[in-house]
Amino acid sequence: MGDGVPQFRALNRQNAGTGHLLAWDPVKQKPAWRVQHAYLWNGGTVATAGNLVFQGTSDMRFVAYSADKGRKLWEVPVQSGIIAGPMTYMLDGVQYVTVSAGWGGAFALAGGDAALATGARPGGAVLTYALASKVPPIAAAAVDPDVARGEKLYHSYCAVCHGAGAVSGGLVPDLRHSNEEVKKNMLLITKHGLAGTGMAPFGAWVSEDEAKGIRVPRIRRRVDRHRYVVLMRSEVAVNLLLRHQPGV
């Protein structure tokens, strides 16, 4: 192993290192093109028959280049570093590109200040993109009346502190992640509050029947499904890209 201290000391913000994506021409045995990245530890790649190369970056973007020239055609901010390689697949005649976004590995762990310099955050997500105009419209799911009522009650009484859509902004407990003990006592907590804390008693305003209807985990499922749909359908930029590149 030897003395690793000097190598670690060399890893700092001023000396964070850079990376690049290099396309190699195997016939001519020389680089075809090269894209410079601001930082090192960028993602793997996938090349498509339609002349595209996709890659995620440590500065939290997912990018498509033309495979022949390395021209940037599209990019989207993804709010997480990407080190995995993307993949692509067809489903019912629609082509999708999926990447597992998330920041980790040796450099992210040990890079210290140099790793922080990228600004990459670790939050993982599986991201899927498709040509918005090709994705079949997703029928609005029938809303269970109990869920609709629970959501309304939550947003009338609880969301002002616990956060819209049951997602806490971080100041007050996120009710999706309460422990089993708390979940079992939801009714009591709603009625009597938690003495000595900012959780007020709601007994005077929320009937027992209404309190039972506040279903936090159900709200979460609905919100998540919605987000998934938004993710699939909001990528107008992909539209532009694929219009340039028919038959991807």
Residue numbers at the binding site for ligand HEC (CB under 6 A): 157-158, 160-162, 172-173, 175, 178, 182, 186, 189-190, 194, 197-200, 202, 206, 214
Residue 167 beta carbon to ligand HEC: minimum distance, rounded to whole angstroms:
14
- In the bound state with ligand HEC, the residue whose beta carbon lies nearer, of 64 and 175, is 175
Residue 210 beta carbon to ligand HEC: minimum distance, rounded to whole angstroms:
9
Residue 192 beta carbon to ligand HEC: minimum distance, rounded to whole angstroms:
11
Rg for the chain, CA atoms, rounded = 24
Cα separation, 88 vs 216, whole angstroms: 35
- In the bound state with ligand HEC, the residue whose beta carbon lies nearer, of 87 and 188, is 188
- In the bound state with ligand HEC, the residue whose beta carbon lies nearer, of 88 and 190, is 190
124 phi-psi bin (left φ>0, alpha ψ -120 to 50, beta other): beta
Q: What are the backbone dihedrals phi and psi of residue 148, each rounded to the nearest 5 degrees, phi first?
A: -60, -40
Residue 186 beta carbon to ligand HEC: minimum distance, rounded to whole angstroms:
5
Cα separation, 212 vs 183, whole angstroms: 11
- In the bound state with ligand HEC, the residue whose beta carbon lies nearer, of 143 and 160, is 160
Residue 141 beta carbon to ligand HEC: minimum distance, rounded to whole angstroms:
24
Say which amino acid occupies 49: A
* DSSP per-residue string spanning 142-166: PPPHHHHHHHHHIIIIIHHHH-GGG
- In the bound state with ligand HEC, the residue whose beta carbon lies nearer, of 82 and 189, is 189
DSSP reduced 3-state for 127? strand
